[in-house]
Amino acid sequence: MKRIVVLTGAGISAESGLKTFRDSDGLWEGYNIEDVATPEAWERDPALVQDFYNQRRRSVLEAEPNAAHYALAKLEAQYHVTIITQNIDDLHERAGSTNVVHLHGIITRSQSSVNANLTYPINGWELKMGKKCELGSQLRAHVVWFGEAVPMIETAAKICSEAELFILVGTSLAVYPAAGLINYVSHDVTKYIIDPNIPTVSNKRIVEMPYKATIGVPVLVDELIENAQ
């Protein structure tokens, strides 16, 4: 089966009602990123950070996958599909995708605040202060903050280097190191970019689809499935 690699960003989740990570005003749900998404913020006011992610988790659990999520899951019937997502929600999994790499973690899990490799499921939307990992350290949201390493980036780069077809959905390619992943895709591999605002990419074989994810992804998926039959 042909290997398709899909890189998704905030645009695909925005159509399910989830706010993008950094809107045009530089805020996330009215908060400065520096106050809720850095190790320093956690040191300063862990209760504030915990509450912020509890509210984001509740929003994620209330949201539903959209037509783009379901279309990508459908693609698995004819192709070997790996989704690399910059998003911290679980909408790809809930839509039925079985091979998802979360670059920035996933909000429905918690992690130890002293060892990021220790992760645990969260029952419901609330992660309480006082809930500790097996090392006795406070649990926090399993998300990668600004200033922290992106542990899955090397895995993602290898996956991109093996792509036989590459699809970019709902990302402006502004957040690094994720934005650099397209550079690991072979120059002779066709790359589809689905976004109302097509980012500038110095790469060969680009097919631009200037549409929202819920419009562009189902169209492309139907075309790819037809071609595979």
Question: Is a pLDDT exceeding 70 seen at residue 27?
Answer: no
Domain that holds residue 115: 19-62+108-143
Contact 217, 9 (CB under 8 A): no
| Residues composing the chain | 229
Question: Is a pLDDT exceeding 70 seen at residue 20?
Answer: no
Query: Is 221 found in the same domain as 133?
Result: no
The Cα–Cα gap between 50 and 137 comes to 14
Q: How confident is the prediction for the chain on average, in pLDDT?
A: 92
The model's pLDDT over 181-194, given as tens digits with 9 standing for 90+, comes to: 999 999 999 999 99
Query: Is 220 found in the same domain as 159?
Result: yes
Query: Is 161 found in the same domain as 54?
Result: no
Query: Is 213 found in the same domain as 130?
Result: no
What's 51-63 look like in SS3? HHHHHHHHHHHHC
Q: Which residue has the higher pLDDT, 1 or 192?
A: 192
Proportion of the chain above pLDDT 90, given as a percent? 80
Question: Is a pLDDT exceeding 90 seen at residue 30?
Answer: no
The number of distinct structural domains making up the chain is 2
**Domain final residue, candidates 90, 118, 143:** 143
Burial 83-104 (b: 16+ CB within 10 A, else e): bbbbbbbbbbbbbebeebbbbb
102 noted as active-site residue: no
pLDDT at 25: 53
Question: Is a pLDDT exceeding 80 seen at residue 23?
Answer: no
Q: Which residue has the higher pLDDT, 162 or 174?
A: 162
Query: Is 120 found in the same domain as 57?
Result: yes
Identify the CA nearest to 12 among candidates 97, 118, 85, 74: 85
Query: Is 74 found in the same domain as 24?
Result: no
**Domain final residue, candidates 143, 170, 200:** 143
Catalytic residue among 102, 104, 142, 187: 104
Question: Is a pLDDT exceeding 60 seen at residue 95?
Answer: yes
> Does the pTM of the predicted model rise above 0.75?
yes
Residue 198 zone, left/alpha/beta (φ > 0; ψ -120 to 50; rest): beta
Q: Stretch 123-129: mean pLDDT, rounded?
A: 95
Query: Is 56 found in the same domain as 89?
Result: no
∠ Cα 155 160 161 (to 5°): 100
Query: Is 119 found in the same domain as 80?
Result: no
pLDDT band, very low/low/confident/very high, at 225 (cuts 50, 70, 90): very high
pLDDT at 122: 96
